[in-house]
Amino acid sequence: MSPPSAPAQDHRQTVDRLRDSYAAIPPGTPVRLAKRTSNLFRSRARRAAPGLDVSGLTGVLRIDPAARTADVQGMCTYEDLVIATLPFGLAPLVVPQLRTITVGGAVTGGGIESSSFRSGLVHEGITELDILTGAGDVVTATPDNGHADLYRGFPVSYGTLGYATRLRVRLEPVQPFVALRNVRFGSTAAVQQALADITAERAFDGEPVHYCDGVVFGPDEQYLVLGRQTAEPGPVSDYTGRQVYYRSLAQRPTDRLTIGDYLWRWDTDWFWCSRAFGVQHPLVRPLWPRRWRRSSVYSRLIALDQRIGLSDGIERLHGRPPAERVVQDIEVPVDRTAAFLDWFLDTVPIAPVWLCPVRQNPPPAGPDGMTAPDPAWPLYPMPVGRTFVNVGFWSMVPGVPGQPDGVTNRAIEKRVSALDGHKSLYSQAYYDRDEFDRLYGGEHYRQLKRRYDPQSRLLDLYDKAVRRQ
């Protein structure tokens, strides 16, 4: 085993301090984490109360190469975790695409990436968690112990049931390089069929596929990026400099990256969203420091804009209503992907959009080795073995005078629900309570809340996600 970067004794002391600070917060005072970065894009009410200090929970506790697991603290970023695992030729089953996403955040928020067509969502690769609950206790939750209900209900709870202080992450062997094929399709129906076939066969045109995601530029131009792990040496591309990764899909039918550069290929330009800051302009890019070409910098700029209202002020100067932020990830069954894309491309003036297939695997057994309950993950139910496709779109659309707040986001929610889909809750949501309960656990969630946060010290999920409290 590798030497821990955060000694076990220090970890216990940090957790004890966290628990004590939680107990010191007066009843009725809102509880939140005090952290510098966030990958949430949901406006919320400002809180004057100090947050819980989790600055000591950022380390990797242990790597076990034989068991292929890593024990990490809740605020450990995937960037730091990957730095620790790659020397062993290992990586987490699913590595979310932005460097500063934390392991605890990805589990409680539902992380996804190009290995999700074979490994599911992030939380499926977690074997146990220590959680500071709303009741102020730290409990260990596994698929088969007395807190199995919390193990299954913690994913997609967004901190409303508690905060992960330690997680055990499953790892898989990885090769040093990823060979890529950028395959163009001329219709949404064609890319839908390819996604279904690749997910079922884990291959395309006779070659194995280890990673699969894609980009839709328009109704007649879509690309799937098919990655194959390889140890074969050779030249590699570098998209951390002047080249912009997403543009390469239309320029290069094949490509090759180191495994590290592949995992963070989207981070340098925050997919394609860095263009909003001019970073992709050939005259600006050389002047923008390389260390600032990362998602965490862009997200802080967006947060600053929200605080000072610069974008809204510019719209008002031009006599226009504020633009509507449409920042969402949704999932629809694979056989309805074309229906959603056709509607979206015809209705919402945003392109490109991201595609990522995902399929939930059979879940771990429940207590005493019994079959896991259905749904296995009650706050984000997804039928085992059914392929879904995540569609991500992150931009703004013009405001419409006289229309209610979030008119485009509301239309997207209705369309996704009509297609038997879901959407992540890291951004704005507008569901009524009944629809929300149907989609996100309803009574399952209330039972967990009663057991693990009986005094309702933490926010309710609906209040946090929809009412933005």
**Cis omega (within 30 of 0) for bond into 333:** no
Q: What is the mean pLDDT of residues 249-254?
A: 97
186-191, long-range: CB < 8 A, 24+ apart? 186/220, 186/221, 186/222, 187/219, 187/220, 187/222, 187/338, 188/216, 188/219, 188/222, 188/337, 188/338, 188/341, 188/342, 188/345, 189/338, 190/222, 191/216, 191/222, 191/224, 191/337, 191/338, 191/355
- Give me the CATH number covering residue 155: 3.30.465.10
Q: Which of 157, 162, 164 lies closest to 462, judged by CA? A: 157
List, in order, residues 6 or more apart from 276 with CB less than 8 Å away. Answer: none
Whether residue 74 lies inside any domain: the answer is yes
Whether residue 158 lies inside any domain: the answer is yes
- SS3 of residue 61 by DSSP: strand
- Measured CA to CA, the distance from residue 198 to residue 182 in angstroms comes to 14
Given a contact cutoff of 8 angstroms between Cβ atoms, the answer to whether 169 and 81 are in contact is yes
| Of the listed ranges 66-80, 194-208, 217-231, 365-379, the one predicted with least confidence | 365-379
Given a contact cutoff of 8 angstroms between Cβ atoms, the answer to whether 178 and 229 are in contact is yes
- SS3 of residue 130 by DSSP: strand
CA dihedral sign, ordered 68, 73, 74, 76: negative
Given a contact cutoff of 8 angstroms between Cβ atoms, the answer to whether 39 and 105 are in contact is yes
Amino acid 223: pLDDT: 98
Whether residue 310 lies inside any domain: the answer is no
Q: What is the pLDDT of residues 134-151, one digit of tens each?
A: 999 999 999 999 999 999
- SS3 of residue 389 by DSSP: strand
Q: Look up tokens 């390469």; give the residue.
A: 248
Please state whether beta strands 254-258 and 177-185 pair in parallel, antiparallel, or not at all (unpaired): antiparallel
Q: Which of 383, 389, 388 lies closest to 355, judged by CA? A: 389
Partnered with residue 207 across adjacent β-strands are 204
Given a contact cutoff of 8 angstroms between Cβ atoms, the answer to whether 211 and 355 are in contact is no
Packing angle of the helix pair 407-418, 337-347 (nearest 10 deg): 160
Amino acid 457: pLDDT: 92
pLDDT at 376 over 90: no
Whether residue 70 lies inside any domain: the answer is yes
Q: What is the pLDDT of residues 62-103, one digit of tens each?
A: 999 999 999 999 999 999 999 999 999 999 999 999 999 999
Q: What is the pLDDT of residues 270-312, one digit of tens each?
A: 999 999 899 999 999 999 999 999 998 988 888 787 777 766 6
Whether residue 3 lies inside any domain: the answer is no
Considering only CA atoms, give the Rg of the chain: 22
List, in order, residues 6 or more apart from 327 with CB less than 8 Å away. Answer: 41, 393, 394, 395, 427, 428
* 230 CB burial (10 A radius; 0-12, 13-18, 19+): middle
Whether residue 55 lies inside any domain: the answer is yes
Model confidence, pTM: 0.92
Whether residue 421 lies inside any domain: the answer is no
- What count of other Cβ atoms lies within 10 Å of the Cβ of residue 291? 7
Return the percentage of the chain with pLDDT > 90, whole number.
76
Alpha helices of 139-228 — where are they, by DSSP H?
148-153, 188-201
Q: Which of 190, 266, 188 lies closest to 227, judged by CA? A: 266
Q: How confident is the model at residue 42 (pLDDT cuts 50, 70, 90)?
A: very low
Given a contact cutoff of 8 angstroms between Cβ atoms, the answer to whether 258 and 380 are in contact is no
How much is the mean pLDDT over the chain?
90
Given a contact cutoff of 8 angstroms between Cβ atoms, the answer to whether 95 and 82 are in contact is yes
- Measured CA to CA, the distance from residue 152 to residue 141 in angstroms comes to 9
- Measured CA to CA, the distance from residue 210 to residue 80 in angstroms comes to 23
DSSP state of 31: -
Distance from chain centroid for Cα 457: 26
Whether residue 115 lies inside any domain: the answer is yes
Q: Which domain holds residue 146?
A: 8-173
Total of domains in the chain: 1
Q: How confident is the model at residue 449 (pLDDT cuts 50, 70, 90)?
A: very high
